[in-house]
């Protein structure tokens, strides 16, 4: 045996270089001493451009070969062959079933033996196989395969054919002749077995509809589309049965045999039962004891190449739906734990501040509740979170200031005597010029039937493309049974091609995970930018779960690639995606990749945008916000926010949020409602919008002071360090202006907070009505480039309809 060359002696023609490029052989992470081997090899490779180029070529060819080979026809064992194996698995002690290629029936010419002799006769096998191959071929061509079993006619014809039998001698001749299995029973003839083979065609289609994402999000037990939502495990409906894992195949078999099992009618394995019935009976028993594991859905989903498995895949979708349907929603009759912050007197408490990093869970919660057909719990409605879910158009800071402030004042839409003050802070956008080039490979692995999630993914990717610099490159890969390259690495300058590529994305079938990710990494490797951002973005949905056998390989792959400088971000779309990586056991440990779950399109967008700004940089540190109300003008004020009922502490009135950072490009918005002093009705007119005007006027309504320190070259400063802090001051003159004359952004902000007031049934809502909220939202649409505001309008209508309905119901009961 030739001893392997040392990496220092490698030439482009060294077989070891191929092994290195393929990360196999001595460079397989499971090989002993692979780390040292790899280190030595890397040293050699780093020094030689020739070797590096060769590695790229090898990987390219390997990738091509792999993808071409993966497109070869997929065959599966015929149902009869599988059934024979399973029958044998039940009684292996009885010896192998006879494969009677010699044509002489075994003693005791029972139906079982007849079945055997026909099924295992090579000619029969051949025609079954040919028919299966043909129908698989057709199935792969058609959008939704409807049948993969041989037609009865074909089976019957070929069953009679003996002529070909001799041409394909059986391989079991040399096997010790087994005692024929005396399974207690008459069996269906092959013809009748085949005749009952075809799966119900209507079923998959119906289930595709049921598997629509809006239902998958929706967790309402009231959903009218679910046939049996209250008890999804009742086995009276075969689609529900697939909830139980490992049984999906059995369900397919049920369907294949046209048997719909039910709790009381499952055929007992009796002497009179046919094998088909036996087969059907066993899964029913197994269903009862197997716990719910989502993995089964993915496992069967990956095999969705034939009609029967496609049926299974869709039933799995339904199962997910049914599972979510059992989640209960927030009980309405519960003591509230939060209350809105009440009005404060400006005379005794003239100072206020607001949080710079409000949470972002409230809006998605509300949306989810509404999608379930329920009004959200008032506690889930957090005004400042709603407000900050949306972005508003604030001017970027000018000059050396890292932060800008904008204040807009108008009469409160719900209490015209009050003023509503909108304060917006905007941090300087991230400097893309300074960031390294990005080489992004996006792997999209969405299960079929999730068209809404596909469109999220597309929308988010389009926004990502907008955020790319012309020098960056992006490639798109589709993960599925026929995983393919949608868009080769393309420079972001060619925006049109990128957008076209995104538009061409489809959910073609169950994603394969490991295989897709391998290709994505290979692609990222080919375009690796030394010192740049090299990242694979993996978009999956809640139906994806790595197969048990591939988890280790996945984790290894990700870890290894991370070591090589290609990072991974996994983005889980949909509310049923685990929100923590630990809930997805196939995810590698931290360090292996970033994990983000996005339950909403907006979150998806935010997650993707972050990909090109891997580490958010703070543009201002130790930011303090100090709002000082002028008691001469302001009688009372309140921040539109809420607090815990238990907390007796007064709301924050001093700028104590010191230490907060503002990240590049971030903005924060706050609304104050002000009761002006009676004497001073300010002058009408005026622009109503103030930006960084000199502060301190006596007629001012309030003064805004934003203190901050600039981070020193991105270095995190010791908070105790006494660097000079800077201040931005804005004086806000008191103006009277109808909210009708306010900007679209102002109206939209008022609509969002007003929506919260309505949902909370706030004591402060004044004369606010749903009608008014809707008008404000409509007038506040603005350009709405990302479609969030339109979506909000939709939620307003939904909530309005629900609350009106609830009110009418209440009246009807009285």
9 part of the interface to another protein, by CB under 8 A: no
Instruction: Give the residue with the Cβ less far from another protein, 95 or 221.
Output: 95
Which string of x and - marks every residue 264-283 that binds another protein (by CB under 8 A)?
------------------x-
801 binds another protein (CB under 8 A): no
Question: What CA–CA distance (Å, rounded) separates 32 from 40?
Answer: 14
DSSP character at residue 725: P
Interacting residue with another protein among 96, 156, 293, 349 (CB under 8 A): 96
Distance CA 17, CA 619 (A): 46
Q: Does 138 bind another protein (CB under 8 A)?
A: no
In the complex, minimum distance from the CB of residue 249 to another protein, in angstroms, rounded to a whole number: 6
| Residues binding another protein: number (CB under 8 A) | 85
Nearest distance from residue 507's CB to another protein, in Å?
A: 21
Query: For residues 103-132, which are near another protein according to CB under 8 A?
Result: 122, 125-126, 129-130
Residue 60 vs 797, nearer CB to another protein: 60
Triad 285, 287, 288: Cα angle to 5°? 70
Q: Which of 8, 39, 61, 396 binds another protein (CB under 8 A)?
A: 61
Residues 71-90 that bind another protein (CB under 8 A): 71-72, 74-78, 81-82, 84-86, 88-90
Q: Return the residue matching tokens 């990360």.
A: 23
Q: Which is nearer to another protein, 319 or 639 (CB)?
A: 319
Any contact of residue 526 with another protein (CB under 8 A)?
A: yes
**Cβ distance to another protein smaller for residue 305 or 344:** 305
Q: What DSSP string describes 66-131?
A: HHHHHTSPP----HHHHHHHHHHHH-GGG-PPP--TT-PPPSS--HHHHHHHHHHSHHHHHHHHHH
The residue whose two tokens read 């607001």 is 354
Of the candidate spans 146-154, 485-493, 573-581, 612-620, the one that interacts with another protein by CB under 8 A turns out to be 485-493
Between residues 175 and 332, which has the closer beta carbon with respect to another protein? 175
The helix/strand/coil state of 361 is coil
Question: Between residue 387 and residue 406, which ones bind another protein under the rule CB under 8 A?
Answer: none
Residue 248 buriedness (CB in 10 A; 0-12 / 13-18 / 19+): buried
Residues 62 and 25: beta-carbon distance below 8 Å: no
Antiparallel, parallel or unpaired: β 438-445 and 533-541: parallel
CA end-to-end span of the chain, whole Å? 93
Q: How far apart are CA 353 and CA 359, in angstroms?
A: 16
Q: Interface with another protein includes 291 (CB under 8 A)? A: no
* Contacting range for another protein; rule: CB under 8 A; set: 194-202, 467-475, 581-589, 628-636: 467-475
Give the residue with the Cβ less far from another protein, 209 or 504: 504
Residue 636 vs residues 695, 750, 757: alpha-carbon distances, Å: 21, 19, 19
Task: Take residue 594 and report the two structure tokens written for it.
Answer: 């970033």
Query: Out of 470, 659, 763, 805, which residue is the one contacting another protein (CB under 8 A)?
Result: 470
580 near another protein, judged by CB under 8 A: no
- Residue choice 7, 19, 318, 408 for contact with another protein (CB under 8 A): 19
When binding is defined by CB under 8 A, the residue of 34, 66, 203, 680 that contacts another protein is: 66
Residue 501 and residue 457 in contact, taking contact as beta carbons nearer than 8 Å: no
Q: How far is the CB of 96 from another protein (least distance, A)?
A: 6
Nearer to another protein, 367 or 512 (CB): 512
Q: Each residue of 98-116: b (16+ CB within 10 Å) or e?
A: bbbbeeeebeeebebbbbb
Residues 200-259 that bind another protein (CB under 8 A): 246, 249
* Least CB distance to another protein at residue 527 (A): 6
Backbone CA torsion sign across 230, 232, 235, 240: positive
| Residue closer to another protein (CB basis): 25 or 682 | 25
Residue 170 touches another protein, criterion: CB under 8 A: yes
Taking CB under 8 A as the criterion, the residue among 267, 488, 682, 697 binding another protein is 488
Helix (H) or strand (E) holding 40: helix 34-47
CB 442 within 8 A of CB 537: yes
Q: Are 489 and 441 in contact (CB under 8 A)?
A: yes
């Amino acid at each position: 045996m030739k001893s392997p060359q040392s990496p220092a002696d490698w030439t482009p023609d060294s077989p070891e270089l191929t092994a290195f490029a393929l990360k196999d052989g001595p460079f397989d992470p499971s090989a002993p001493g692979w780390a040292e081997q790899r280190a030595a090899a890397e040293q050699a490779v780093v020094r030689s451009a020739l070797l590096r180029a060769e590695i790229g070529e090898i990987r390219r060819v390997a990738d091509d070969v792999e993808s071409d080979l993966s497109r070869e026809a997929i065959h599966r064992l015929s149902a009869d062959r599988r059934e024979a194996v399973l029958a044998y698995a039940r009684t292996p002690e009885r010896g192998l079933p006879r494969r009677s290629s010699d044509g002489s029936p075994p003693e005791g010419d029972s139906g079982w033996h007849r079945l055997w002799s026909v099924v295992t006769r090579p000619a029969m096998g051949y025609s079954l196989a040919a028919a299966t191959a043909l129908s698989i071929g057709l199935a792969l061509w058609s959008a939704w395969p409807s049948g993969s079993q041989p037609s009865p006619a074909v089976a019957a014809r070929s069953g009679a054919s003996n002529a070909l039998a001799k041409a394909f001698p059986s391989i079991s001749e040399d096997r010790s002749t087994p005692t024929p299995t005396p399974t207690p029973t008459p069996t269906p003839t092959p013809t009748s077995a085949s005749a009952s083979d075809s799966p119900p065609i209507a079923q998959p289609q119906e289930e595709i509809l049921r598997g629509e994402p809006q239902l998958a999000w929706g967790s309402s037990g009231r959903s009218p589309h679910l046939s049996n939502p209250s008890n999804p495990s009742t086995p009276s409906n075969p689609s529900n049965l697939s909830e139980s894992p490992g049984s999906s195949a059995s369900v397919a078999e049920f369907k294949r045999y046209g048997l719909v099992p039910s709790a009381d009618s499952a055929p007992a394995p009796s002497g009179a039962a046919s094998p088909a019935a036996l087969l059907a009976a066993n899964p029913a028993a197994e269903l009862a004891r197997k716990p719910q594991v989502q993995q089964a859905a993915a496992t069967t989903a990956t095999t969705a190449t034939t009609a029967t498995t496609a049926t299974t895949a869709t039933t799995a979708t339904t199962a997910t739906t049914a599972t979510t349907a059992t989640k209960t929603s927030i009980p309405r009759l519960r003591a509230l734990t939060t209350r809105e912050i009440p009005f404060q007197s400006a005379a005794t408490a003239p100072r206020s501040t607001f949080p710079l990093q409000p949470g972002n869970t409230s809006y998605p919660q509300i949306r989810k509740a509404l999608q379930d057909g329920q009004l959200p719990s008032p506690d889930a409605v957090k005004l400042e979170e709603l407000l900050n879910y949306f972005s508003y158009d604030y001017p970027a800071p000018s000059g050396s200031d890292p932060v800008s402030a904008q204040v807009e004042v108008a009469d409160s839409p719900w209490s015209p005597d009050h003023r509503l003050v909108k304060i917006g802070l905007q941090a300087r956008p991230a400097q893309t010029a300074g960031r390294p080039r990005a080489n992004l490979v996006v792997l999209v692995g969405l299960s079929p039937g999730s068209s809404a999630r596909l469109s999220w993914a597309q929308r988010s990717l389009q926004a990502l493309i907008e955020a790319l610099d012309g020098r960056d490159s992006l490639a798109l890969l589709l993960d599925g049974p026929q995983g393919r390259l949608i868009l080769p690495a393309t420079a972001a300058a060619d925006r049109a091609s990128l957008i076209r590529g995104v538009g061409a994305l489809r959910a073609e079938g169950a994603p394969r995970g490991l295989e897709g990710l391998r290709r994505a990494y290979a692609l990222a490797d080919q375009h690796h930018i030394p010192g740049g951002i090299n990242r694979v973005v993996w978009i999956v949905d809640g139906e994806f779960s790595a197969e048990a056998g591939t988890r280790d390989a996945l984790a290894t792959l990700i870890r290894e690639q991370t070591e090589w400088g290609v990072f991974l971000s996994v983005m889980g779309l949909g509310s049923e995606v685990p929100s923590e990586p630990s809930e997805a056991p196939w995810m590698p440990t931290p360090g292996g990749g970033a994990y983000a779950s996005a339950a909403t399109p907006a979150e998806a967008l935010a997650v993707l945008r972050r990909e090109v700004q891997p580490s958010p940089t703070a543009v201002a540190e130790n930011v303090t916000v100090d709002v000082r109300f002028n008691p001469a003008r302001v009688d009372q004020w309140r921040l539109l926010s809420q607090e815990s009922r238990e907390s007796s502490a007064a709301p924050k009135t001093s700028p104590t949020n010191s230490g907060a950072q503002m990240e590049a490009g971030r903005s924060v918005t706050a609304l104050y409602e002000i009761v002006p002093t009676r004497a001073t009705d300010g002058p009408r007119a005026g622009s109503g919008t103030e930006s960084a005007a000199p502060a301190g006027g006596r007629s001012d309504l309030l003064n805004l002071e934003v203190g901050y320190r600039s981070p020193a070259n991105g270095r995190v400063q010791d908070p105790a360090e006494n660097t000079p802090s800077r201040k931005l001051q804005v004086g806000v003159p008191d103006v009277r202006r109808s909210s009708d004359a306010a900007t679209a952004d102002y109206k939209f902000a008022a609509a969002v907070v007003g929506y919260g007031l309505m949902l909370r049934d706030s004591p402060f809502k004044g004369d606010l009505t749903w009608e008014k909220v809707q008008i404000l939202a409509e007038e506040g649409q603005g350009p709405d480039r990302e479609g969030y505001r339109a979506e909000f309008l939709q939620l307003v209508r939904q909530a309005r309809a629900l609350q009106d309905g609830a009110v009418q119901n209440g009246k009807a009961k009285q």
